[in-house]
Amino acid sequence: MASSSSPAPALAGEALRQKRILSSKLYLEVPSSKAPVVYSPAYDISFLGLEKLHPFDSAKWGRICRYLTREGYLDKKRMVEPLEASKEDLLVVHTEAYLNSLKSSFRVSSIVEVPPVSLVPNWIVHKKLLYPFRKQVGGSILSAKLAIERGWAINVGGGFHHCSADEGGGFCAYADISLCIQFAFVRLNISSVLILDLDAHQGNGHEKDFANDGRVYILDMYNAGIYPFDFTAKQYIDQKVELVSGTKTDEYLEQLDRALEVCSIRFQPQLIVYNAGTDILDGDPLGRLKVSPEGVVTRDEKVFRLAKDQNIPLLMLTSGEILLTQVCGPFL
C-alpha cells in the first residue's frame, strides 16, 4: 500500500499536464510571410466603461498596433492572431478550484481591482473581460514557439505576472508566463528558461509557480515600495534588484547592467521570457519610478543585445509603442 509520501499522485498529475499540452491547439503553424508579432483585436477590453475605473490602460494593445501599422512599421496582415486558451489549456497550470472561482463576479472584481464588476452578471464578465485575457494567454504561449523558431517573438499583450496557479490579482487573471513556459518544456524540448521581469512591480505570480524549480531562473528588478509586497514570493527569486520610488534613468540602467552581467554568469537559458513592463516610465501612476522614454528604449536594447550576443531566443511580452518601434522596428 502506497504511503502518504508516495510520488504516484505527483507523477499522475504531471502525466495529465503533458497530455493536455500535447493535445492543445494553441501551437499554430505560422507561415514565414508572417512576422513573429502576435496580436488580436480581441485583446482590448471594453467593458461598459468600467475598465476606466482602474489606472491600467486596458485598450492600449489595439492602439499600439494601429500606431505600428499607421506609421509603416508593420503591415497588419503580417501580424499573427492567436487562439483563445481553452479550459484544458489553462488547467496545465491553474487549479480547477481557481478556474471555478472565476465564475464569481465578486472574485473577478477583486482580481482586477474594479469593485463595480461584482455587480455584473458573470457571463458578461467572461465575455467582456476574461475572454480578452484568455486570448492574450494564447498569444503568450504561441509566441514562445515563434521565439524558438525565429530567434525572437513579441506578444503585444500578456505579462500577467501577478497571477499564479491558484491566485489572481493586480489585474492579472491568468498565469500566461507560467503557462507559456510549461508548454515550452514539453513541446519545444527545452529545459532552462530565464524569466527577466523588468516591470516596475514584483512578479509574484510566476515566482510562486516556479518555487524551487531549477529549470527556471528569475531575475526580477522592481520597486520594492509598491504592490504586491509579497514576501513569501520574494524567497523564490533567484536574483532580485529592489529599487526605491523615484529611481532615475542613469541609476536604473547602471543597476540593470550589473544584474545582467551577474545573470549571464550564473545561468545559461535556452529561452528568455522578458516581461517588458512600461510602468517604469516617469509619470506612471503605478510604478513610481522616473525612467525617461529614452531610458526605456535603452533598457530593451540591452536585453535584445544580451539575447543576440548569446544566441538565446527571446520572447518579449510588451505593451509599449516606444519599445516596439525603436527597439524592434528594424527587425519588422
53-84 CB burial, b ≥16 within 10 A, e <16: eeebebebbbebbeebeeeebbeeeebbbbbb
Which one from 94, 162, 201, 206 is the annotated catalytic residue? 162
Q: Any idea where the domains of the chain sit in the sequence?
A: 34-41+56-317
Q: What are phi and psi of 291, to 5 degrees?
A: -95, 130
Measured torsion, CA atoms of residues 8, 25, 112, 116, in degrees rounded to the nearest 10: -120
Active site residue 94: no
Average pLDDT over residues 72-81: 88
CA angle (298, 318, 73) in 5-degree steps: 75
> Which residues, other chains included, contact 16 with Cβ-Cβ below 8 Å and sequence gap of 6+?
none
Q: Which amino acid is at 170?
A: G
**What integer pLDDT is reported at residue 44 of this predicted model?**
87
| pLDDT tens digits along 149-162 | 999 999 999 999 99
Rounded-to-integer distance, Cα 209 and Cα 220, Å: 14
| pLDDT tens digits along 295-311 | 999 999 999 999 999 99
| CATH number belonging to domain 34-41+56-317 | 3.40.800.20
220, 202 Cβ separation under 8 angstroms: yes
| pLDDT tens digits along 237-259 | 999 999 999 999 999 999 999 99
What the block records as the C-alpha cell of 160 is 500577467
> Looking at residue 84, what DSSP letter applies?
P
